[in-house]
Structure 1
């Protein structure tokens, strides 16, 4: 509780001086109230929910090669911000794919490639059925993977997959 100390001081000349009062405020109830408020807000607030990305796994009964080449776009990511791409899946050894190179630039880059392929698939099949296969080399850095995932989100590509790169495709990056 609050406590008032009063001390009487006598004047040195015999005159009466005003009394100086010293105050001391007891902070115990204020500290109790502070801890009660902290406890209340800790128990009533919701903690932040973890942000996760949905992962869609392929079906067990499906065949990975059942995707039509006309609906597929394969993007190869290499070292030093190098992007190589080709239309289709590239699994036909008799007819190797036409390898093209691009960059992460906003104009004349990978975004334009994805948009043109998506519009081509939409015109041909009547819906957004583009499937992008992303294949990264061991020398590719994490930033490039994040950049290509951002491009998938920006370009509204609903179906894409991270796939292991083959030795033939590693040769395409050189």
Structure 2
């Protein structure tokens, strides 16, 4: 409790009108503060985590349903160090030497980056299949960013796959290790 004490007047002086000491009781204000604090803590809603829906493919019942992926529908994205994204169109089939190696493009997650490449591929080839591969220096945030891009651009078919030795040869030397 707050109280202000004033010293008593000295002897030999004319007595003045006695001033009453000021006393402020803070108990009700503290009670009100705790009641408000409790009220707001109990009535607030906490931020709900944002979760992206992932649909896993169903295992085919027969061998007839499992058809191979055509290179004309494929787009391969490889995640590298420094938030760089490498991509090429088609599949890297190095088993046949008569097939030339695909052209590797480099971009990033900026406004004119991988999103524009995905949208352009969607205009060229409706319903492409995107293969996402992580390089040895890729960060987890890059994987989250590319999954967000898949969701933003409306890609219905994409897969997370391992980086093959043939794909590793396409990467720049600094990314291969």
Q: TM-score, normalised by structure 2?
A: 0.70
* Aligned residue in 1 for 2:175: none
Provide, for residues 101-158 of structure 1, a one-character-per-residue CA deviation record: whole Å limited to 9, x for no partner. 2222655x54443232110113xxxxxx122111111122345445544543554434
* Aligned residue in 2 for 1:161: 159
Give the Cα–Cα distance (whole angstroms) in 2 for the partners of residues 85 and 7 of structure 1.
Answer: 85
Structure 1 unaligned regions, length at least 5 = 123-128
Structure 2 unaligned regions, length at least 5 = 173-177
Structure 1 residues 83 and 96, CA gap change in structure 2 (3 angstroms): farther
* Aligned residue in 2 for 1:125: none
Q: Alpha carbon RMSD of aligned pairs, Å?
A: 3.5
Of the candidates 59, 72, 75, which is equivalent to residue 73 of structure 1? 75
Structure 1 residues 55 and 12, CA gap change in structure 2 (3 angstroms): farther
Contact 2:90-2:102 within 8 A present in 1 as well: no
Structure 1 residues 155 and 170, CA gap change in structure 2 (3 angstroms): same
Pairwise mapping of residues 8-87 of structure 1 onto structure 2 (< 5 A)?
A: 9=9, 12-13=12-13, 15-61=14-60, 66-79=68-81, 82-87=84-89
Contact 1:77-1:136 within 8 A present in 2 as well: yes
Pairwise mapping of residues 123-138 of structure 1 onto structure 2 (< 5 A)?
A: 129-138=127-136
Deviates more, 1:56-65 or 1:20-29: 56-65
* Aligned residue in 1 for 2:119: 115
Give the Cα–Cα distance (whole angstroms) in 1 for the partners of residues 114 and 87 of structure 2.
Answer: 9
Structure 1 residues 29 and 106, CA gap change in structure 2 (3 angstroms): closer
Contact 1:73-1:132 within 8 A present in 2 as well: yes
Pairwise mapping of residues 143-154 of structure 1 onto structure 2 (< 5 A)?
A: 144-154=142-152
